[in-house]
A and B are shown apart, each in its own frame.
Chain A
Amino acid sequence: MALDQSFVGRSYPPTEPYEVGREKIREFAVAIGDTHLAYTDPEAAKALGHPDVIAPPTFVFALSFEAAQTVVQDPALGLDYSRVVHGDQKFAYTRPVRAGDRLTVTSTIDSIASRAGNEMIDIRGEVHDASGEHVVTVVTKLVARRVEEGAA
């Protein structure tokens, strides 16, 4: 069943603030094997002009994807999550995420499209800090794969 086009442009309320911790950044950096000192050493980060350690570029995805769950699980939208794969991913930064940030994510459905039986949805997460300044825009394209003919 095609997704309801009237959901395009729909926004969801901002999430509760997520506080970015130095140790969570360190854990993530270790998990991706990245030893860049800007992620773990506040002095090294300051030498680069950052007020505290910064997070690797893709760190913020965990927040935006958590926020997007409200969208993908909205029963009115009717997305079959068991068929969903991650299609595209984009980030546009005003500044890097850093320790001490309290970030909120506001999700909006940017587009819904159907191609060859696959359904595609673009969810945009606008990430702001505690002072309301923009930090990063995260755009996630999810693809619900076509149901094979004859499948239940």
Chain B
Amino acid sequence: MTATVRYADVEAGTELPGASFPVTRATLVRYAGASGDFNPIHWNERFARQVGLPDVIAHGMFTMAEAVRVVTDWAGDPGAVVEYGVRFTKPVVVPDDDTGALIEVTAKVGAKLDDEARTVRVDLTARSAGEKVLGLSRAVVRLA
């Protein structure tokens, strides 16, 4: 585990570089294949509407995977993540066009947890189309 950010260099409130992640229908098909989650709400508009959704929605686990990239890119080593949790609050709706949807992620250090283990809690926010799509989104990261 070789995080490149030093524990001594961060404090509660330190902002991480944010990022935006585009999602199209093609993204979802690819993610379905890689993850093995073939639930039709993620690729079949007719089915999605039948079960009361506005349109095809992204896999929650896709959104969760994208959000933590802000943390792993910052830390330098993805293996430095020791805990990660989210609540799925709203779906990311992905229209059938060339643009799709955008997941916008911001993050900041919420607290320094343990001086010896050099762990910090990072609080994440993820929004799409103005809605908060993840709640209670937190990662614990071991820094250098």
Contact B79 A89 (CB under 8 A): no
Contact A62 B79 (CB under 8 A): no
- CB contact between B83 and one of A61, A65, A86, A92 (< 8 Å): that residue: A92
User: Given A32-B31, A58-B65 in contact, is the A96-B60 Cβ separation under 8 Å?
Assistant: no
**Which positions in A face B, CB cutoff 8 Å?**
27-28, 30-34, 36, 38-39, 47-50, 54, 56-58, 61-62, 65-66, 85-93, 95-96, 139
Which residue, A27, A87, A93, A95, has most C-beta atoms of chain B within 10 A?
A93
Question: What's the A-B contact tally at a CB cutoff of 8 Å?
Answer: 100
Contact A93 B83 (CB under 8 A): yes
Contact A88 B61 (CB under 8 A): no
Contact B69 A88 (CB under 8 A): no
Across the interface, which residues of B come within 8 angstroms of A62, CB to CB? 35-37
Contact B33 A31 (CB under 8 A): yes
Residue count of chain B within 8 Å CB distance of chain A:
34
- CB contact between B88 and one of A34, A56, A87 (< 8 Å): that residue: A87
Contact B84 A90 (CB under 8 A): yes
The stretch of B10-18, B70-78, B92-100 in contact with A is B70-78
Give, as a whole number of angstroms, the nearest-CB distance from B20 to chain A: 11
Across the interface, which residues of A come within 8 angstroms of B36, CB to CB? 62, 66
User: Given A36-B73, A48-B77 in contact, is the A88-B88 Cβ separation under 8 Å?
Assistant: yes
B34 in the interface, Cβ–Cβ < 8 Å? yes
Looking across the interface, which residue of chain A has its beta carbon closest to that of B59?
A: A86
Contact A93 B64 (CB under 8 A): no
Give the CA-CA distance A32 to B66 in the complex, in Å. 7
Contact A31 B34 (CB under 8 A): yes
Contact A93 B81 (CB under 8 A): yes
Contact B31 A38 (CB under 8 A): no
Give, as a whole number of angstroms, the nearest-CB distance from A79 to chain B: 16
- CB contact between B78 and one of A30, A39, A65 (< 8 Å): that residue: A39
Contact B78 A91 (CB under 8 A): no
Give the CA-CA distance A139 to B87 in the complex, in Å. 12
Given A57-B78, A89-B85, 15 more contacts at CB 8 Å?
A31-B27, A31-B31, A33-B21, A33-B27, A34-B69, A38-B77, A48-B1, A48-B79, A49-B79, A57-B68, A61-B35, A65-B37, A66-B36, A90-B84, A96-B81
20 sample A-B contacts, Cβ–Cβ < 8 Å, listed by A number: A27-B33, A28-B34, A30-B34, A32-B65, A33-B66, A34-B69, A49-B79, A57-B68, A61-B35, A61-B61, A62-B37, A66-B36, A85-B88, A87-B87, A87-B88, A88-B87, A88-B88, A89-B88, A90-B83, A93-B82
Contact A57 B72 (CB under 8 A): yes
Contact A58 B79 (CB under 8 A): no
Across the interface, which residues of B come within 8 angstroms of A34, CB to CB? 65, 69, 72
Contact B79 A30 (CB under 8 A): no
